[in-house]
Amino acid sequence: MFLLTLRPAQLELWAHSNDPGSGDEPVSKWVYVFVLTLAMCGGALHGIAMALRKKYGEGIEKYWLEPGWWVGTIADGFAGWMIWPAMPFVSVQILVPLIIVLQLGSSYILGLFLFHEPCLLNRNLGLACAFAGVIGVSLSTSHQASHFSIGEFWAGWVTTRFLATSVIILIILTGCFKFIHRSSFWALVAAACEGIQYICSRSIVDSIFERGVDFIFKLAVLAAIAIKICCILGILHSQQLGFNNKADLSQFAGIYLIGCTVFTCVYGWAFFGDAMPYGINLGSFSFVISFCLTSAGIWLLNQSAVVQDVEDDLGDAKTKFDVEGKPVNDVLVANPQDS
């Protein structure tokens, strides 16, 4: 339905060649529709792949030995590939919110119908804040990437700005480990790994444009590829640890995708020097409001995880009492013979 509302003039306005300054004619609207449709399917497939890894890996210590888990992992990689063709043609202001909304939506629907997750008010409000906050952060931050050369790769890791940002993020994650639900913590850890992976992916792409086919012979590129692989492994493992801590799919996906947007923006500023809104103007005001909405979304989704965790614990205690005929919770049952 989204594609049907786009008039040909709008498609030609948004669809540009790889080099906007080259003077080339806009890409065919049919190519634009194709890559956008492919990206939309990739966003939905990301949600489906996450559901598969939850279904076949949840509660299993050696989840990587499960064939079903690998189906989800391969589908996740294929979904990422489906989004790539749209990047040179579709503006990030349209692409990023669209992909995130589709992934959140598919995760929410699968959580309700596949995993029979409860429809909690906190979760619905949290997802609503997530939609608004993620779109707001995407639209209020700069979409003009700063110039970067692969020769600056090593120096980027030791700048004062990047080191200070990394320390602050580590402190925040340490506090989250103590004060929020464990599944929410692992969702944020996976999102932080996505931020580091973004640094590596952008460095690799920039080196391709800078050096052509010789990019692979640069030591910095090989290091970026190695770090990217480690980040992917960290993301997969962190997500699975989150699922193993009684995480509902919709709740986990919401926190994870919110975190991905925030960490990507922060690391893009810290490593590459991309502009961030500051001062008193409309852009900075929108960013602050959007950041508050994302924080509220994380808090509400975390609260839904805590409520569900308590309900599960109480249900387990009642079940154990009913089967064994003896009290296991002094608050719920004072005298087992009264029942």
pLDDT of residue 48: 92
Q: What is the dihedral of CA 208, 210, 214, 215, to 10 degrees?
A: -50
Q: What is the pTM of this model?
A: 0.69
What whole-number distance in Å separates Cα of residue 279 and Cα of residue 106? 37
SS3 3: helix
| H or E stretch covering 320 | helix 282-324
| H or E stretch covering 226 | helix 219-243
pLDDT of residue 18: 43
What whole-number distance in Å separates Cα of residue 108 and Cα of residue 17? 35
Which residues, in sequence order, are CB contacts of 82 under 8 Å at separation 6+? 38, 39, 41, 42, 45
Answer for the pair 255, 180: CB distance below 8 angstroms, yes or no.
no
Answer for the pair 190, 183: CB distance below 8 angstroms, yes or no.
no
pLDDT of residue 178: 86
Which residues, in sequence order, are CB contacts of 154 under 8 Å at separation 6+? 220
What whole-number distance in Å separates Cα of residue 38 and Cα of residue 120? 32
| CA 48 to centroid of chain Cα atoms | 14
Q: Determine how many CB atoms are found less than 10 A away from the CB of residue 105.
A: 17
pLDDT of residue 288: 75
Answer for the pair 88, 32: CB distance below 8 angstroms, yes or no.
no
What is the phi/psi pair of residue 84, to 5°? -55, -45
From first to last of its 339 residues, the chain has per-residue pLDDT tens of 333 333 344 434 344 434 444 444 556 778 888 888 898 899 889 889 999 998 898 888 889 899 999 999 999 889 888 887 876 666 655 677 777 778 878 887 888 888 887 777 777 787 788 777 777 766 666 555 567 788 889 999 999 999 999 999 999 999 999 888 888 899 999 999 988 998 898 888 778 777 777 778 889 999 999 999 999 999 999 999 998 887 778 778 878 887 887 888 788 888 988 766 655 555 567 777 877 777 777 677 766 555 555 555 555 555 444 545 555 554 444 444 444
| Strands in 152-286 per DSSP E | none
Residue 100 CA: distances (Å) to CA of 88, 119, 255, 261: 18, 20, 12, 9
